[in-house]
Structure 1
Amino acid sequence: MWASCDLPFRVSPTTLHCLVPLPSGDMHEYFWLIYSLVGLATLAYLQRWLWPDRQQLKHIPAVGSTAPILSYWGAIRWLSHGTEITQEGYRKFKGHPFKVANFNRWLVLVSGPQLIDDIRKASDHELSFDEAAWETLEVQYTVGPSVAGNSYHVPIVRGQLTRNLPFLFDDLRDEIAKAFHDQVPLADDWTPVLAHPAVMQVVARATNRAFVGAPKCRDPDWLDLSIQFTSDLILGAHIIHQFPRFLKPLAARLFTRVPAAIRRGRRHLERTIEYRKKCLEQYGDSWPDKPNDLISWLLDEAEGDERTVQNLVTRILALEFAAIHTTSNSFVHALYHLAAHPEWAKDLREEIEPVAKREGWSKASLDKMHRLDSFLKECQRYYAIGGVTMVRRAMKDFTFSDGTVVPEGTFVGVAVLATQHDPEYYEDPDTFRPWRFSELREDDDESGRHLMVSTGLEYFPFGHGRHACPGRFFAAAQLKLILAHIVLHYDIKAENEGVVPPVLQFGQNIAPNMKAKVLFRKRQP
């Protein structure tokens, strides 16, 4: 599930929707310290942004006060109550734009099929995904101008990665099984497992099996780098954002860990990349035993400076950033629900085992496991990873179909979580119903729209339209294989029987509890 084009493989803006791991422990306290000190020290600077925005957007209703000082307080409140603020705006202004205060700008949110479709249909010259993401993540200064100026990796993910899923399938399944063997022992007694880090390791290994191949995908230091790079990049972006433009390059070099992370990545991949380049020079596009992985796909398409080790490693790490945390967080949500309701595992087994016995394990047979798909899609609907998606920056004054005008420079987005909990679109929306979408598929001739990877105007954790997540097919396959592996090999239950651990919130992001445990044991007859 990875950051996008509205999710994976590009990065969704607004407090880094969809992929930002919620800070916890020392990092959580550090973030709060940064925000508090910088906020108090730069109040005047922030008002220089918020006051003009308040004047330009005065025709759009706000959640909370629009007065300069009070709107700043609203931005602080956004950190801990972002989803509640978004849902409040949705209830009050459903079908119309409304605005909420962030630290350095107002964010305009929309709801309702027509306005969401306005964003979907808008050209990049009107509402730009790239400009919003690049500004939020300070991409020019974190991962550099190469990634910021050339998104050639997106069609690679949309094309090569998706087309190669049937050929990668056995490798993914093999890596997931090996990773579980290392992370979760097959014991006869109940064993408590810290869910989030265990799942993160499994997802990181499966992702890297497709990205850099085996055995590098099992290298502990490479996995640590792959996982840690997200925190390095996000914290770096927050730090850089506090500096004026002319000091941002210096701040990136001196005050962030991103350059060191890229140097560390080079130590891991430089020999591999140089060897692949020599093979390409000697044999052309194909040679015996050419690896079928992301490194090869990038080398096949990269031109000029994009072929340097530095730029290739940077792009691979950027894709690691986009892939691992969103998929991990989504699966941990699902795992907590399954552990709280272990009876659902029986229903999943009754579907999975006959299909696998009849047709074997393949991408095609996985697609026939409708309950498996429904369970994970319902989890996406229920949590949506956050309150906002499809964030864009207005490149010029933009007029919505209801006549509302947002001026150039405005950030706009969609209230996704509130939409996916609207009874107009979903029956009993605040109840987690695991077979919601498999039942809809049985009753609907257009059952394809109920697939996990399908996007629409009422379901868009992966975004919607041409910027919908290009890696969603890979992410969905990973999630299904991991869930299938668990229900076929383990019994599980919640640490507190029947209880789903409370989620964590930061801004408008929603993350699963980082400290909760799930009890595993070898599946009993």
Structure 2
Amino acid sequence: MSITLNRIPVLPTSLYVEGSVGRPSATLAGILHGVQQAALKSPTIAACVAVNVVVMYYIVSFLMSRNTTPLVGYPRWLGSYAGALRFFVNSQGMVDEGYRRYKGRFFRLPLWTNWNYIVTNEKCIEEMYHLPDDVLSLRYAAHDELAVPYTMGQQIHDDPYHLPILRGKLTRYIDYLVAECLDELPMAVEDEIGKKCGDSWQEFNAFDVSIGIVARTFNRILVGAPTCRSAHYTETCKSFAMNTAMIGLLINLFPSFLHPIVGRLFTRLPYLLRRTLVDLGPIIAERKAAKAEFGDNWTDRPNDLLMWLMDAAKGIEQEPARLAIRVLVINIATIHTTAATFTHGVNNLLDHTEYIDALREEAESALHSHGWTKQAINQLVRSDSFFKESSRLNGLGTSNFPRKALRDITFSDGTTVPEGSYISSAWSVHTDEEYWPDPMTFDAFRHIQDNTVGGKANNSSGFIRTNSRYLIFGHGKYPCPGRFLATYILKATLAHILLNYEIKASEQGRLPDILFQYNRSPNVRSTFMIRRRKVA
């Protein structure tokens, strides 16, 4: 050590700038100027100063901090960036550790630019999900986490008029929307699977198949047919969803003052918007012309999201580019999450093939009684429980998407979350043995008794029923508005595949996609085998 220390040069006296009377200047400006000159003369000095400044910062932060909410996942003296790095590579372990050590309380996790307060107290979870938007905001958290100005456009944050449309219309027109999806889904499955396989086993990429079916089926109610069947359009929607997540993460690795520069360097928004307008531009122009010509007498007015947006948009939001970006943004919340959930379900089914016959028999009985209708899908009680169990064990992440505190919030247990921090709930509750007997065992039908009424899934699907112990779709005032349609599509897709195809596991290894890194199943495969089923 002495040899190493001897190699570090002595701090030069030029650190202080000489004053007019030949004495060192004690002013801050003089000291800073001296440090600057010393750094220019010796990079080693600059490095020493930087290291000492960082060390002093963390020491002062440690001594001055009065926040009593426990930290998780790293030695505090290493600083929050050490914890953020660990969270980046092992968020599941950190959340599980915090839940195990501080169940019934709050604990803190460091992110790159903020703190995420994880709530595990059931009463506080209920309080969190019922706070008003001007106190605890999902929209403001998304603005920061997804770097919205550079991935979606600032207007999505400033004027989120699409949100009340989704909350109102998706419920009001649920029968019509489900019928549209059920009409499109068999054609989507046929194009993604049926045309590519025959009587012999054929290998398919699980996620590619799932996302193709989901993107096309969902877009039937977003933009209508035949646009939803355009490969160019659906590929753009898929790319936009992935680019938003990845570029938002990349931008947030940089300090906030660099975001305007980094955001403009990395954004793909203008390119993807141009691609979208190739498909949606002519449709928007045609619909505007029809509205102008027929007004309220337009008898064959489309009943889809794009039309709802056109009816509600004001001012500049009526421009085709502004309408198109709203459609892309809504695709983010539907395509990848639903496709990933279905892929998890397939993998769980292939790990537990003993459930295949029971699920197939239920689908045959429901379709025999009701045909390919919403009423038939409501009868898929086993399928409903199957997907709820799969999502319980394989949430897409480690906690709910955080909400941002817009002012200091004090909860009933006395915990105060400071303004600007994030708050979330841990999905470790889904594997808590206090609430779920033998929680790590996949029991596909464990939810049937609780979530059924009169032989059918309650409230269209027990899968969508939220509470403080089951938080896949959020909870409280504004759970995911698309969860009703998502569950119909999930159950209908599984039923259609089981009725028309045989399925078995392939020999491929773990899925590399980031969407699947939190799966608790030991055998997450990237592909599966399918062949047409011979029906007597």
Normalised by the length of structure 2, the TM-score is 0.82
1:391 corresponds to which letter in structure 2? Answer: P
Match runs of 1:420-431 below 5 Å:
420-431=430-441
Alignment partner of 1:335 is 2:379 = no
1:178 alignment counterpart: 187
CA radius of gyration, larger in = 2
Alignment partner of 1:60 is 2:69 = yes
Match runs of 1:103-142 below 5 Å:
103-142=112-151
Inter-CA distance 371–514: structure 2 relative to 1 (3 Å threshold): closer
Aligned partner of 1:474 among 485, 490, 495: 485
Aligned partners of 1:114, 1:163: CA distance in 2, in Å?
31
Aligned partner of 2:527 among 504, 517, 524: 517
Mapped contact 2:506–2:525 kept (Cα < 8 A): no
Matched position secondary structure for 1:425: coil
Mapped contact 2:369–2:376 kept (Cα < 8 A): no
1:27 alignment counterpart: none
1:314 alignment counterpart: 325
Larger mean Cα displacement after TM superposition, 243-252 or 431-440: 243-252
Aligned partners of 2:137, 2:52: CA distance in 1, in Å?
28
Cα offsets for 1:248-297 (capped at 9, x unmatched): 34443332212211121122211110111121122224513222211111
1:19 alignment counterpart: none
Inter-CA distance 259–442: structure 2 relative to 1 (3 Å threshold): closer
Mapped contact 1:377–1:452 kept (Cα < 8 A): yes
Larger mean Cα displacement after TM superposition, 446-455 or 165-174: 446-455
Larger mean Cα displacement after TM superposition, 439-448 or 368-377: 439-448
2:316 corresponds to which letter in structure 1? Answer: D
Task: Provide the identity percentage.
Answer: 35
Inter-CA distance 451–500: structure 2 relative to 1 (3 Å threshold): farther
Aligned partner of 2:392 among 368, 376, 381: 381
Mapped contact 1:336–1:501 kept (Cα < 8 A): no
Larger mean Cα displacement after TM superposition, 85-94 or 134-143: 134-143
Aligned partner of 1:367 among 348, 359, 378: 378
Match runs of 1:242-257 below 5 Å:
242=253, 248-257=259-268
2:497 alignment counterpart: 486
Inter-CA distance 401–238: structure 2 relative to 1 (3 Å threshold): same
1:240 alignment counterpart: 251
Mapped contact 2:385–2:447 kept (Cα < 8 A): yes
Unaligned 5+ segments in structure 1 are 1-40
Normalised by the length of structure 1, the TM-score is 0.84
2:264 corresponds to which letter in structure 1? Answer: R
**Cα displacement (A) at 1:161:** 2.6
**Cα displacement (A) at 1:424:** 1.2
Matched position secondary structure for 2:363: helix
Cα offsets for 1:51-109 (capped at 9, x unmatched): 86995563011113353535422221212211111011101000000112222222211
1:72 alignment counterpart: 81
Inter-CA distance 227–425: structure 2 relative to 1 (3 Å threshold): same
Mapped contact 2:400–2:424 kept (Cα < 8 A): yes
2:531 corresponds to which letter in structure 1? Answer: R
Unaligned 5+ segments in structure 2 are 1-49
1:201 alignment counterpart: 212
Aligned partners of 2:418, 2:429: CA distance in 1, in Å?
25
Q: Work out the number of aligned pairs and report it.
A: 482
Aligned partners of 1:50, 1:231: CA distance in 2, in Å?
40
Alignment partner of 1:260 is 2:271 = yes
Aligned partners of 2:55, 2:467: CA distance in 1, in Å?
36
Matched position secondary structure for 1:361: coil
2:203 corresponds to which letter in structure 1? Answer: P
Higher relative contact order (CA 8 A, sep 6+): 1
Aligned partner of 1:159 among 148, 168, 174: 168
Larger mean Cα displacement after TM superposition, 46-55 or 469-478: 46-55
Cα offsets for 1:195-221 (capped at 9, x unmatched): 111111111111111111111112111
2:419 corresponds to which letter in structure 1? Answer: E
1:490 corresponds to which letter in structure 2? Answer: Y
Inter-CA distance 466–46: structure 2 relative to 1 (3 Å threshold): farther
Inter-CA distance 110–43: structure 2 relative to 1 (3 Å threshold): farther
Aligned partners of 1:184, 1:50: CA distance in 2, in Å?
60
Inter-CA distance 236–390: structure 2 relative to 1 (3 Å threshold): closer
Mapped contact 1:126–1:395 kept (Cα < 8 A): yes
Inter-CA distance 370–514: structure 2 relative to 1 (3 Å threshold): closer
2:153 alignment counterpart: 144
Inter-CA distance 163–432: structure 2 relative to 1 (3 Å threshold): same
1:368 corresponds to which letter in structure 2? Answer: Q
Aligned partners of 2:226, 2:56: CA distance in 1, in Å?
52
Aligned partners of 2:223, 2:367: CA distance in 1, in Å?
28
1:7 alignment counterpart: none
Aligned partners of 2:61, 2:296: CA distance in 1, in Å?
54
Mapped contact 1:342–1:492 kept (Cα < 8 A): no
Inter-CA distance 48–257: structure 2 relative to 1 (3 Å threshold): farther
Inter-CA distance 444–503: structure 2 relative to 1 (3 Å threshold): farther
Alignment partner of 1:432 is 2:446 = no
Alignment partner of 1:212 is 2:257 = no
Cα offsets for 1:451-473 (capped at 9, x unmatched): 01111111110000122101111
Aligned partners of 1:511, 1:273: CA distance in 2, in Å?
44
1:415 corresponds to which letter in structure 2? Answer: A
Alignment partner of 1:283 is 2:294 = yes
Larger mean Cα displacement after TM superposition, 444-453 or 193-202: 444-453
**Cα displacement (A) at 1:246:** 5.8
Aligned partner of 1:358 among 369, 374, 392: 369
Give the superposed CA RMSD. Answer: 3.1
